[in-house]
Amino acid sequence: MFAVVYLGALASLFVSAFWEVDAFTAAVIHTWSLDNFRRLWDDHTYWRITGRTIGLASAVTLTDAVLAFPLAYFIARLASGRTRATLFVLVLLPLWSSYLVRIYAWRTILAKNGALNWVLNGLGLPDAGLAYTNTAMWIVFSYVWLPFMILPVYAALERIPENYLEASQDLGAKRWRTLRSVILPLALPGLVAGSIFTFSLTLGDFITPALVGGAGSSFIGNIVEEQVGLPNVPFAAAFATVPVIVMAVYLVIARRLGAFEAV
């Protein structure tokens, strides 16, 4: 029953992308057309917004991969016993704590009178001026999704048998060579699995752009939310197909890279 409602809702949503809204009554007219898609295709604004959304999602994914790896490696292979358990909980708690609260925390940190500028001024540096910029969004997204990258990478690294590394060393590989030829390939499925979260969560978000982004930082999600509110659900649905298609392609690639076996 529940599944039927959910699937029905999803299906009707995507069907409605081909419908239209009467300009005067705001009623949905059930005539089939590609007008919504044509409007998206022809307007440069929507291309820019799509580009910004996908670009930032990629940047956030890369940043999280770089930040997550050393910590995941440390927890999985160097820390032991209590340290390991403590670190694990320290990663887990931010993940489950309110995402809205964490965005808000950064909003106060980056604000003009916030902690960041206080530190910078204390060091004799000028204000960072990061509030309400794309850079702010990049920092905040990387921050909120980071635990989603750490955990799968940790799981992948933990599973590498110690003797693989010994074998690599015995065969004369230097540390970097071992990292590049043994550890990274085995960690890759974990990295890809984590990237599914970081990428997809960024792609569908509209709260972060609304709270820490500037005037020109709308995401696909912001436009969709705005259009649902108008209400112009058909157009919102048409634009919403973009992240869904991007994610579908991403998942197919991720599957090829073995992400589904990693976690």
Kindly identify the residues of this chain, within the stretch 15-74, that bind other proteins according to CB under 8 A.
16, 28, 67-68, 70-71, 73-74
Among 18, 37, 46, 105, binds other proteins (CB under 8 A): 105
**Cα(first)–Cα(last) distance of the chain, in Å?**
30
Report the C-alpha gap between 183 and 177 in whole angstroms.
9
| Of the candidate residues 136, 137, 236, 238, the single one contacting other proteins (CB under 8 A) | 236
My answer on whether omega of the bond before 231 falls inside 30° of 0, hence cis, is yes
Query: In whole angstroms, how large is the CA radius of gyration of the chain?
Result: 22
Query: What is the per-residue binding string for other proteins in 241-260, x denoting contact by CB under 8 A?
Result: --xx--x---x-------xx
Nearer to other proteins, 134 or 224 (CB): 224
Stretch that binds other proteins, among 35-43, 44-52, 130-138, 238-246 (CB under 8 A): 238-246
Which one of the spans 33-41, 42-50, 127-135, 147-155 is the region binding other proteins (CB under 8 A)? Answer: 147-155
* Contact residue for other proteins among 26, 115, 184, 249 (CB under 8 A): 115
Q: Which of 40, 131, 191, 193 binds other proteins (CB under 8 A)?
A: 193
Q: How far apart are CB 224 and other proteins at their closest, in Å?
A: 6
215 near other proteins, rule: CB under 8 A: no
Q: Which of 92, 171, 230, 245 binds other proteins (CB under 8 A)?
A: 92
The CA distance from 263 to 254, in Å, is 12
SS3 124: coil
Nearer to other proteins, 59 or 228 (CB): 228
Residues contacting other proteins: total by CB under 8 A: 92
Residue 85 CB neighbour total at 10 angstroms: 12
Cβ atoms of 49 and 219 within 8 Å: the answer is: yes
To which H or E segment does residue 21 belong?
strand 20-21
Query: What tokens does 146 get?
Result: 């980071």
Q: Report helix, strand or coil for 32.
A: coil
In the three-class reduction of DSSP (H, G, I as helix; E, B as strand; rest coil), residue 217 is classed as coil
Query: Is residue 123 close enough to count as binding other proteins by CB under 8 A?
Result: no
